[in-house]
Amino acid sequence: MKIAIVGFGAAAIGYFERMKDTEHELHVFEKSADIYSTSISGIRADGKLFVSAEMGGDIEIPMDLQKQFVDFYINHSSGQVETGASFKNPQYYKRFYESGFLPITADFYHIGTDQLKQVLFNIFEDYKSRKNIRFYFENEVKVIDFQGESVILDNEHTFDKVVVAAGRSGHVLVKDIITKFH
């Protein structure tokens, strides 16, 4: 089966982990210029990963799944990882709350910006080395359509299935899909 994946972020990585050893062809369309330009799960800027039931807006992601994701990144690192928890001290939590803030409790894992670049590269190289995964950077998908049993991307690329794994910046595509096929 020939499958298109729109976006190369946390959702796509989860999908690859399940599909990387199959015979399916996986074609990744990423609008960023390269692996270093992606904003994989929003951690690119500072190299911090969080496990918290209070983060992520209205999306509820089980804590064990969040921890598996963090462990996946850590397993692709070769350096030190700083760990800790926010607001271990209840007095700090109370002071923040009394000052009008809504403190969030979380376990954190700090890989660091420089080490994160290497982690992202390691993940990308692993997937790129597989015979069934192909990447197309600087390739923003703007239109998804169906023709019979096939999926057509941008009136040009034909696939058996599509996985839309776009992050926050892909909200326009997701909104268009919902509007078009609702």
Pairing of strands 161-164, 157-159: unpaired
Bigger pLDDT: 117 vs 65: 65
Find out whether 41 and 65 touch, Cβ atoms under 8 Å. Answer: no
Q: What is the mean pLDDT of the chain?
A: 87
Q: Dump pLDDT digits (tens) for 78-108.
A: 878 999 998 888 888 888 889 998 888 899 8
- pLDDT grade, residue 44 (50/70/90)? low
Find out whether 106 and 55 touch, Cβ atoms under 8 Å. Answer: yes
Nearest Cα residue to 135 out of 7, 27, 11: 27
Lowest mean pLDDT among 18-32, 109-123, 127-141, 145-159: 109-123
Question: Quick one: how far is CA 115 from the chain centroid?
Answer: 18
C-alpha 87/C-alpha 7 separation (Å) is 34
**Side chain identity at residue 166, one-letter code:** A
Bigger pLDDT: 110 vs 4: 4
Residue 56, pLDDT score? 67
Q: 145 CB contacts (<8 Å, ≥6 apart)?
A: 151, 152, 155
Q: What is the mean pLDDT of residues 151-166?
A: 95
